[in-house]
Amino acid sequence: MVGPMYDCLANPLGAIRLTFEKAVGSGCEPSAFDGKDWGALDVFREFLVDQGNLSQVPVLNSETLKWVQPNTLVRFRGMVQDMLGNEFYAGAYKDGSGWRTNKFGDDSQQPIDSSPDVRVWERRLLYCVPVPGLNTWAESEAASEATVTSMDLTSQQRDKRQRMDAESMDYEVCPGSNIVLEDSPSAKRMREDGHPSLSVQLSDLKPEGPCSSTMMRPEVGDSPSCLVKVYDTRESELKLNDIFEFVGVFTIESEPVPADDGDDIDLTTGFRNDLVHLQANKVPCLHCIVHRKLAVSDFLRSSPIIEQSKHVVMNTRESLLRHLTMLLGNDGVAANYMLLHLLSKIHARVDNVAVGKLSLNLTCLSKEALSVFGVQLCNALRNLLPFTDSIPLTVNYLNTACLGPKKDYQRNRLIGGTLQLAEGSHLTIDETQLETGTLNSVGIENARLLKDLVELQKVEYDFTYYKMEMAADVQLLVLSEGKSNILPADIVLPVRPSDVSRPEVVSAEALGAWRWYLATMRTLSHTIESEIQEVVEKDLVAARQADRRIGSKEFSSLLTMGRLMSLSFGETTLSLEHWEMVKELEKLRKERIN
Amino acid sequence: MASDSSPTRFNNTPSSPDDSAFSSPIGDTFSSPNKRGRGRSAATPAYDTPPHPNSRSRFASSEATPTPLHHAGRPTTPSSTSEGAPSSEAGDDMDEAAPTFVWGTNISVQDVKSAIQMFLKNFRDAQSQGAEIYEDGKYMKAIHRVLEIEGEWLDVDAHDVFDYNPELYGKMVRYPLEVLAIFDIVLMDMVSLINPLFEKHVQVRIFNLKGSTTMRNLNPSDIEKMVSLKGMVIRCSAIIPEIREATFRCLVCGYFSDPIVVDRGRISEPTLCLKQECQAKNSMTLVHNRCRFADKQIVRLQETPDEIPEGGTPHTVSLLMHDKLVDAGKPGDRVEVTGIYRAMSVRLGPTQRTVKSLFKTYIDCLHIKKTDKSRMVAEDAMEIDSGTQKHDEDVEFDEAKLSKLPDIYDRLTRSLAPNIWELDDVKRGLLCQLFGGNALKLPSGASFRGDINILLVGDPGTSKSQLLQYIHKLSPRGIYTSGRGSSAVGLTAYVSRDPETKETVLESGALVLSDRGICCIDEFDKMSENARSMLHEVMEQQTVSIAKAGIIATLNARTSVLACANPIGSRYNPRLSVIDNIHLPPTLLSRFDLIYLILDKADEQTDKHLARHIVSLHFEDPELAQQDVLDIATLTAYLSYARNHINPQLSDEAAEELTRGYVEMRRRGNFPGSSKKVITATPRQIESLIRISEALARIRFSEIVEKHDVTEAFRLLEVAMQQSATDHTTGTIDMDLITTGVSASERMRRENLVISTRNIIMEKLQLGGPSMRLLEILEELKKQSFAVEVHLHDLRNAVATLETEGVVVVHGDSVKRL
């Protein structure tokens, strides 16, 4: 796109207005821009993608919040926690002789009443929070990644970059490995497919295209919640609990808003301002120009292994399995199951059945054993997966915790519960601490919510007058002494630890490889050949003939395991060998149970 | 709404002599400047509803011929703080002596006025047309009625407006502020013609728009349009007294000012006494009880769950209610609202002229209808909330078309829980339950239930619970409960003490709550005895009687029960009788119309099916797998239509078939060569059969129960019965098994056993002699040519019988003859 140089970073609104004026000047009626872009997005796309300036855009977090100037370009990475509906604003108005626009800004300075011509446009308000359970490595990796890419930038941008570096340095954990990891292929890929996919996203407003993972960077540090105003998007594009990266104009509501209840019967408006509490808390606000849906893999640094060579996958698998075996006290079977569990992901939903989930219940863990394994295991999971959370299942916890999200009509906000998790989160539930006691109504409700999550991968959101089920995709690991009856997991496996070893020191490279492995393998697609399908069917029928207790549930988990097993080898079709492995594993597990 | 329209009337109709009389008291008072400017300025150039070119051309001419109208128009024109309509324009546009146009539109005031007059005078219902042509029109009658009861509003059905004059309807929806103002004027003119002394101000309330939108579809183009929405009230503000006119009194001389009408949301307090003699400065004080206030309320409406797309949270919208509409809805009510969607700009500060670029949106409510209430009247829970009306017109046709399909029965069966395998006959039964039979109430007071009760008994893992869940989802008034967690009171009703008033109150349980719906009870076998016994009354009489704590009541519980249970010992034991397996009291069992035994047979074919199904679930696109089935929405629509509109009657042929079949069923146990009488069917079964055949006719949308419906009903009953009432020793249907728990042949076998045991004991044991072990007797029995296998268990029973006869004494395992 040809045009004057705009300072997109420091004065994005200027750029937006310039393009608007240009568009209007070229003879377009402003009404033509109802719900449309007039070319401003092209400018930003060119700036961010084609020129690769994205890393220069400061990330909104508690640190940067202190110095980021209003009306500059920032980015924010978070989960859509609540949707606050639409907002109408005076999008374009005539000021004197010329048209002006308010899009992407909170411009309240102009006395609009002087102009008879106002176009009312709408934008959506999303309340976004940092991804729940985001682990520190996922944040810090993002930070280091941002630093690394910024090193490639031309010298003229260097001074700006240094300021950024200073900011992000604090969060850097392993700066040494960065440079090695920055690969030219990834940069090339960015140029090759980053551009087309993004342009699709921006101009046609299609749901997230497969943007290259290097294009956008996550933010650093404990970021605050953020009110994101989204323009001209279709509703289906942004869903609750999705993780997005937004790039847009940063503003903060500065004027004091009376928040007392007396305002409710304010005669001038008569309306309580729903956003009062948000503004009172000075929630930063972002007028989103570009957004992109993020997957788990976007939280990794640029892939250490670009080619998914079979060899590399195998090696990674082996070492990860070794690591898991060690964690589980030398229990190879448990480690295998754990690996499959960590790779599980819901890939289809048919009516009430969530296909692809593999919740794991490790039994035979007493309180004492757990004090050894549990901590190790949790730490390890935290290191492997980007979003993890754990729940101590005690009577007291169940009776008091707020697990399910609930709508607070006083504030007109959705209060996120513990179970409002992003797609692909991992949740560990520790049942070993559960003792006998009485559940109150909250406790029963919470237990039911957990059970629904385990069984159906759905969470009920309480809207007081009715409840709404929202689909979730959470990997659930239950640790218990005996088989958990509250949480009926797909796989119940007694752990047989044989030796307690001290946690080994894991190298950063290995960790990185494992993370990459887990994030990448679980997203692979999978099919089945007709011959294998027949074998599988035969095996299932035979198993059922032998043991009538085997029902569709067991079939399902068996097939899920088959799928995950071949995925764990980086294969996209089920082979006989892997199917046999699954059967073997199941045999070993059955032996343990009986 | 209508109150605010008065200023407009004021503007628009110099012709109306009454204007000043009533317009001033109800003047526009509304808060924000632009909010209430119904009239000229309310045409809100700011929002660009009217097409610009049009308006411009009109300007020229209007400026040339200013009419007195301006003067009326101006005072109420909020000089456009927000809308920015220069007041000069606002005033000018509307005139042109002859055709007065509404600003910025091609609506001529005169045209609209006469159209409305015609409508009100001449509109007649389709039915009444022709017959009573000389009678007054529908709305003339309505106006008279309003006058009689001194009402304050006239409900106008928008459908009527459309039928009478589609053009007027279009104008009304597009420019509601203007058209409604004219409407009010016309109405008041007519009122004053009929009764010049009528003092109240009558307003028009439009309802029942042709199309209703959803909350999330409201967009800027809807601003200032009339919209109709469904939603749920979630919050109501307190009632806000809003000042309409104020009176001031001078503190110095006691002079009372004339009432000062609110202008642009404010009242200009006189700075000096108006009395010529006094003229004291800053002496005027507000006299509260001389002021006029109007009620105002802000209500928040939230989307109902069915309108929320996947992955979204419900939207909300504010409603502004006035006067009589205040408190029309309470939190939790489902309502349908007709109103004008408006946007209001917000000032930066109370004293600043600048406004934010943001708008606050709300709906100025014209009419509110509780949809819940209408459902109650409709008396059928199967009727779904979402658009029964739409349904009647548009979908009816589709449904009728659907019902004409030759394979509709099979298609519906397929569409029911498509991901559950096989079990086609069970699904057919469930389909019958969903459609239901006709309830009959005889003049004598006796009533026959139309609801079909179904019990599913089966092995674990046969997707019973999934079926239950599915049915629960399908039937809106369904309650799902698990037997283990339900107590008797939880199912029926209980008396509790209100914590605040300390009064005893009746709380409905699951069965009462699912009145006219389906109550799904999972794990029926694990329910406590006590709770189960409560079901007796519900399942036959369809009422719940309670007598507790001073409350004696009988509540309706016209519910179908769908229960599912595991056999005793969790797996079906083919050795035991069905009763023993199910382990439910026979009295309760006989109340189920259909009892399905879902047995997990070790059948390779079904296993293969299951395996294939699950494999395809995992590896194929689930979208492709399902075809040729109706989606849930269509299914519910079909269902509710059938339940509401089809009431099949037995044809003579069908009745004959029913009699014949019943006689045959009873005769069947009577097979040749056998003297034993096996009771095959009971009158309860014939009632069940009638219900099922009625349901089958309903499925076809047929008003007549045909012969083949009856045949199918017999088949269904037989399929269920063959499984559930097969005597495993004779293979015949045996209702005795259901009603008493022991089959006739089983009884005979036991008798035989007792006789032969007695014989052995008589033979082997001496009177008062040494005892004999049970096992020894068993050996003896086996030696004798006893065709049937004898179990120790049976023997024990036989010996116990003998003991009661006083023949033997039993000590542990040893038997001693007396």
Instruction: Find, in chain B, the residue whose alpha carbon is nearest to that of A264.
Output: B237
Nearest-neighbour CA in chain A from B653: distance (Å): 42
B279-328 pLDDT, tens digit each = 777 777 788 787 888 888 888 888 877 777 777 778 888 888 887 788 77
Q: How far is residue B300's CA from residue A272's CA, in Å, rounded to a whole number?
A: 10
* CB < 8 Å to B312, chain A: 83, 235, 239-240
DSSP for residue A515? H
Strand pairing of B518-522 and B560-565?
parallel
Only one residue has tokens 């697609």, namely A525
Which comes out higher in pLDDT, residue A470 or B571? A470
What confidence score (pLDDT) does residue B511 get? 73
Contact across the interface for A110 and B357, Cβ inside 8 Å:
yes
Contact B589, B582 (CB under 8 A): yes
Nearest-neighbour CA in chain B from A218: distance (Å): 23
* CB < 8 Å to B421, chain A: 552
B430-474 pLDDT, tens digit each = 888 888 777 777 667 667 777 888 888 777 766 777 788 778 777
Nearest-neighbour CA in chain B from A504: distance (Å): 38
What confidence score (pLDDT) does residue B207 get? 81
Contact across the interface for B84 and A533, Cβ inside 8 Å:
no
Contact across the interface for A90 and B357, Cβ inside 8 Å:
yes
B110-146 pLDDT, tens digit each = 888 888 888 887 777 665 555 555 566 778 878 888 8
Interface of B with A in 430-469 (CB under 8 A): 459-463, 466, 469
What confidence score (pLDDT) does residue B122 get? 77
Q: What are the tokens at A507?
A: 């190298």
- Residues above pLDDT 90, as percent of chain B: 0
| Residue to test with chain B: of A13, A34, A86, A88, most B Cβ within 10 A | A88
* CB < 8 Å to A563, chain B: 618-619
* CB < 8 Å to B318, chain A: 271
CA triple B176-B182-B185, angle to 5 deg:
140
What confidence score (pLDDT) does residue B712 get? 83
* CB < 8 Å to B302, chain A: 463, 465
- Run of H or E residues at B63: helix B52-64
What confidence score (pLDDT) does residue A307 get? 57
| Residue to test with chain B: of A350, A412, A415, A441, most B Cβ within 10 A | A350
Contact across the interface for A559 and B320, Cβ inside 8 Å:
no
Contact B661, B713 (CB under 8 A): no
Amino acid letter, residue A422: A
Say how many CB pairs under 8 Å bridge A and B.
236
What confidence score (pLDDT) does residue B361 get? 82
* CB < 8 Å to B238, chain A: 264-265
Contact across the interface for B355 and A270, Cβ inside 8 Å:
no
Work out the pLDDT band at B561, boundaries 50, 70, 90: confident
DSSP code per residue over B325-339: GTTSS-TT-EEEEEE
Residues near B60 by Cβ (< 8 Å), separated by ≥ 6? none
Contact across the interface for A548 and B604, Cβ inside 8 Å:
no
**Neighbour tally for B167: CB within 10 Å:** 12
What confidence score (pLDDT) does residue B74 get? 36
DSSP code per residue over B64-108: HS--THHHHHHHHS---TTT---HHHHHHTT--SSSPBPTTSS-B
Q: How far is CA A445 from CA A448, A451, A459, B250, in A?
A: 5, 10, 12, 64
Nearest-neighbour CA in chain A from B353: distance (Å): 7
Q: Given CB atoms, is B363 within the 8 Å cutoff of chain A?
A: no
Contact A217, A75 (CB under 8 A): yes
DSSP code per residue over B522-551: ESGGGS-HHHHHTHHHHHHT-EEEEEETTE
DSSP for residue A50? I
- Run of H or E residues at B594: strand B594-598
Contact B145, B152 (CB under 8 A): no
Work out the pLDDT band at B755, boundaries 50, 70, 90: confident
Residues near A217 by Cβ (< 8 Å), separated by ≥ 6? A54, A55, A59, A75, A142, A145, A146, A149
Contact across the interface for A85 and B331, Cβ inside 8 Å:
no
Asked whether the predicted pLDDT for residue B1 surpasses 50, the reply is no
| Residue to test with chain A: of B615, B621, B623, most A Cβ within 10 A | B615
Q: How far is residue B587's CA from residue A540's CA, in Å, rounded to a whole number?
A: 41
Contact across the interface for A108 and B607, Cβ inside 8 Å:
no
Contact B222, B213 (CB under 8 A): yes
Low-confidence ranges of chain A (pLDDT < 70): 1-6, 27-28, 30-32, 34-35, 95-97, 106-117, 139-223, 253-282, 301-308, 351-352, 500-504, 548-549
**Nearest-CB residue to A120 (from B223, B316, B331):** B223
What confidence score (pLDDT) does residue A178 get? 35
Question: What are the two backbone dihedrals, phi and then psi, of residue A470, each rounded to the nearest 5 degrees?
Answer: -120, 135
Contact B521, B561 (CB under 8 A): yes
Contact B365, B402 (CB under 8 A): no
Amino acid letter, residue B267: I
Which comes out higher in pLDDT, residue B674 or B523? B523
CA triple A48-A50-A54, angle to 5 deg:
25
Nearest-neighbour CA in chain A from B284: distance (Å): 22
Nearest-neighbour CA in chain B from A501: distance (Å): 39
Contact A138, A130 (CB under 8 A): no
Q: How far is residue B424's CA from residue B412's CA, in Å, rounded to a whole number?
A: 11
Whether ipTM tops 0.85, in short, is no
Only one residue has tokens 């045996």, namely B734
What confidence score (pLDDT) does residue B690 get? 84
Instruction: Find, in chain B, the residue whose alpha carbon is nearest to that of A116.
Output: B84
Contact across the interface for B216 and A235, Cβ inside 8 Å:
yes
Work out the pLDDT band at B678, boundaries 50, 70, 90: very low
Contact across the interface for B308 and A555, Cβ inside 8 Å:
no
Contact B756, B786 (CB under 8 A): yes
Which comes out higher in pLDDT, residue A301 or B50? A301
Contact across the interface for B237 and A34, Cβ inside 8 Å:
no
Contact B586, B738 (CB under 8 A): yes
**Nearest-CB residue to B296 (from A88, A270, A468):** A270
Q: How far is residue B168's CA from residue B312's CA, in Å, rounded to a whole number?
A: 37
Asked whether the predicted pLDDT for residue B50 surpasses 50, the reply is no
Asked whether the predicted pLDDT for residue B183 surpasses 70, the reply is yes
B683-714 pLDDT, tens digit each = 777 888 888 888 888 887 778 888 888 888 88
Q: How far is residue A443's CA from residue A518's CA, in Å, rounded to a whole number?
A: 34
**Nearest-CB residue to A108 (from B311, B332, B348):** B348
Beta bridge partners of A90: A120
Beta bridge partners of A477: A360, A428
Nearest-neighbour CA in chain A from B545: distance (Å): 28
The model carries a pTM of 0.66
Q: How far is residue A278's CA from residue A408's CA, in Å, rounded to a whole number?
A: 14
Contact across the interface for A468 and B298, Cβ inside 8 Å:
no
What confidence score (pLDDT) does residue A279 get? 46
Contact across the interface for A117 and B48, Cβ inside 8 Å:
yes
3-state secondary structure of B439: coil
**Nearest-CB residue to A541 (from B220, B421, B608):** B608
